[in-house]
Structure 1
Amino acid sequence: MSRVIKYGIVGIGRIGRSHASEMASYPGKFELVACADHAPDRLENLPKEFANAAKYASLEEMLKNDAVEMVTIATRHPDHVPMALQIMAAGKIAVVEKPVACSTAEMELLRQASAKHPGKLFFRHNRRFEAAFIKVRELCDSGLIGDVQYIKLYRSVGYCRRNDWMTMTEFFGGLLSNWGPHLIDQALCFLDSPVTEVWADVRRVISIGDGDDIFKIILRGANGRLADVEVAGCNAMPGREMEIIGSKGTIVFNGGPIIDVRYLDPATKLVSTKPHPENAGLAYGNFEEKLYFVEAKYQVPAISMSIIWAHLYDAVVNGVPFPITFDQAYNVVKVTEEAFAKSGFAAIKNFKSKV
């Protein structure tokens, strides 16, 4: 019989409940035995996954439950690191929801605690396992479009005057904190190289809260690749989600089940030629060669982002390296921090932790 990881959740809102439903899809691997939330109403009328979970008003109380081996953190953002430190100090596994930290200084605290409690810290960058992202990376790595030059990652969350706590800087809210970690993590994977330069614009347009609702970040890798990351909550006409430009073609993902690729036919021979200094012809182009392209469509694979829990199980139980390393998570926080600094947008104000 396989080992079952008995776990608890702190923070029983939308994200905490999604943790429970996702792990329920891996029967025999996880068992929800406890949950905690400081708001009494959050502990009432819970989904079926919580039927056998002991309920607590605080993380401290839940950590006294010896049956709890692992805790997933789904609370307000500035609580993530203090709670992870508490959980590890109690000898239990901490799974940190994004944003995994509000600063690189907080990440250094996690680094120290993780060194003291090895194998007890995991980060839930679940969009590392987004199906279209996985397939597009595979196509890039295949060499189909030649040398990757530009990576454009866009996401729109609609035109929405959002007004919950995730829009408030008091709680490290705003799109850069909420959605930024997802696409920054993907961008760093596509860059596959240390970041040498960060440019950013972060602003609030229509959000009810004082956090940002649109941002653009441009990252330059040491290998020359450029990543353009943009997320908007004020875009009434959203477009494509991914566009990868290579030396021999382009990959485009518009959302949905299909990825479009247009690339130079491998049979095409590029003519060795030079530019002409005399007057150009009256039409645009190069008339000394004709290029032939292949237009292909690739199916987005049937991969659920919840597979992150299967990877976590294998890491805890079987010692398989977890795909999201500490340094990778650190670099996401570092880019986020630098983007806020470069843009001049205030990331966080006046938070009082409930830890």
Structure 2
Amino acid sequence: MTCLRFTPVRKRISEMRKTLRCAVAGAGRIAWGFHLPQICMREGFELAAVADPDRQRLEEVKHAFHPAAVFTDLETMLREVHPDLTVIASPTIFHKEQALLAFRYGSDVFCDKPVGLNPKEASAMYGEAKRLGRKLMAYQPHRINSEGLTARAILQSGRLGRLYLIERHISNYVRRNDWQAFSGNGGGMLLNYGSHYIDQLLYLTHDTAARVKCELRRVITCGDADDLVKAMITTKHGILLELDINQATAYPLPEWRICGVRGSAVYSNRQWNIRYCEPDALPPVRADHTLAAAGRRYPSEQIEWKEENIPCIPADPGLYYDYCRDYFAGNGMPFVLPEETLEVVRTIELCRRDAEGQEFSSPVTEHMLQVT
């Protein structure tokens, strides 16, 4: 069993003094399970207000998290509370409208993924943030989950050699019947789960999408949005990223398979296993250009493989709020850069257009990349 260390891409900046007064838009799953608890327990944050049109949910929030105030209307909350940071944890169809409203009331925005329904919405959000001198960052938790951190450490170790393929499989059997089952709500696995895993794959490879092939299907969902995604993304540097999201399978596939020219890594049942060979373990081999295979045999090699079990690096999901404090209360870089978020949204659109048989070749343009 081998222990690997993860070297972060960006160092945190921790010289902050300001306490961020936070307002949360939405009191549903992600707010209840993550944002509200983290705001309450992390140093440097104050839960100033929560807005949700459901009064019953607001009562539950009051008893569980004790915000200073609750509102059934977001604009009223923004006007009366003037928060430093608005956390948008509402359904996707409201993200753009609510973010723009928060900016106009002088608040920065921490927005759940996906930031917008499409590239046009996401660009408008970052453009308005820049125009009004506000900050916007997306929530992409899979960047710092345990198996993702370990995958990065495996790649950084160089054991596998040059990377050429990552397969990511998300397998379940769920007949979705909630709001995410309906396309009119911004539902579907490509937009919702795909936002997580496309970001994770592009973040791991430090790359962007050059072209995609994608199939979307409705299999057992109760709604009209996709519950099966099969996407092949070829990156600018030629790495193949295969994303398989299947909400209609009784048998799961291994969650990860990473392939390099000298070895592979597989993650399944909360365990990473790698098999690789040292560079000098592969003797030179010559191509045989004749049409007569030597000895009438198929080529084969005896390779001295090394195998290791890699324990997952412990993860702290709440670390995301430390990154938020670095950025929103200090002078740190955003943990998720604007151009990274825009690239994820663009790649999702590429996938959707390919699945629908439509062309879409818009790159992340210069005016997008200049947003800070």
TM over 0.5: yes
Q: Which runs of 5+ in 2 are unaligned?
A: 1-15, 359-372
Could you tell me how far apart the structure 1 residues matched to 2:21 and 2:357 are? Answer: 41
Cα shift readout 1:128-158 (whole Å, capped 9, x = no counterpart): 11221122122112221111011111112x2
Q: Quote the Cα distance in structure 2 between the aligned partners of 1:118 and 1:251.
A: 44
Q: Conserved in 1, the CA contact under 8 Å of 2:231 and 2:243?
A: yes
Partner-residue secondary structure (3-state), 1:230: strand
Does 1:68 find its partner at 2:80?
no
CA distance in structure 2 between the partners assigned to 1:340 and 1:20 by the alignment: 33
Which of 2, 10, 21 is equivalent to 2:37?
21
Structure 1 counterpart of 2:370: none
Corresponding position: 1:144 with 2:165: no
CA distance in 1: counterparts of 2:187 and 2:357, whole angstroms: 12
Aligned: 1:116 with 2:131: yes
Q: Is the 8 A contact 1:243 1:252 kept in 2?
A: yes
Q: May I ask how many residue pairs the two structures share in their alignment? A: 341
**Shift in Å, 1:11:** 0.8
* Shift, 1:345, TM fit: 9.0
Q: Is the 8 A contact 2:232 2:242 kept in 1?
A: yes
SS of corresponding position for 1:87: helix
The alpha carbon displacement at 1:322 in A equals 1.4
The one of 249, 273, 283 equivalent to 2:286 is 273
The two structures have a TM-score, normalised by structure 1, of 0.90
Q: How does 1:231-246 map to 2 (within 5 A)?
A: 231-246=245-260
Which residue of 1 is the match for residue 114 of structure 2? 99
Q: Check whether the contact 1:88–1:94 (CA below 8 A) recurs between aligned residues.
A: yes
Do 1:20 and 1:49's aligned partners in 2 also have CA atoms closer than 8 Å?
no
Moved beyond 4 Å, runs of 4+: none
Provide the identity percentage. 26
What CA distance in whole angstroms lies between the structure 2 residues aligned with 1:310 and 1:151? 29
Instruction: Output the TM-score relative to the length of structure 2.
Output: 0.87
Of 63-72 and 95-104, more deviation after overlay is shown by 63-72
Superposition map of 1:177-256 within 5 A: 177-256=191-270
Question: Using the alignment, how far apart are the partners of 1:333 and 1:255 within structure 2?
Answer: 30
1:335 maps to which residue?
347
Does structure 1 retain, via aligned residues, the 8 Å contact 2:106–2:134?
Answer: no
Give the alignment's Cα RMSD to 1 decimal.
2.0
Q: Which moved more, 1:200-209 or 1:37-46?
A: 37-46
After superposition, residues 16-95 of structure 1 pair within 5 angstroms as: 16-18=31-33, 19-26=35-42, 28-46=43-61, 49-66=64-81, 68-95=83-110
1:259 aligned counterpart, secondary structure: strand
| Cα displacement string for residues 147-173 of structure 1 (whole angstroms, at most 9, x for unaligned residues) | 1011111112x2111211111111011
2 CA distance for matches of 1:7 and 1:150? 41
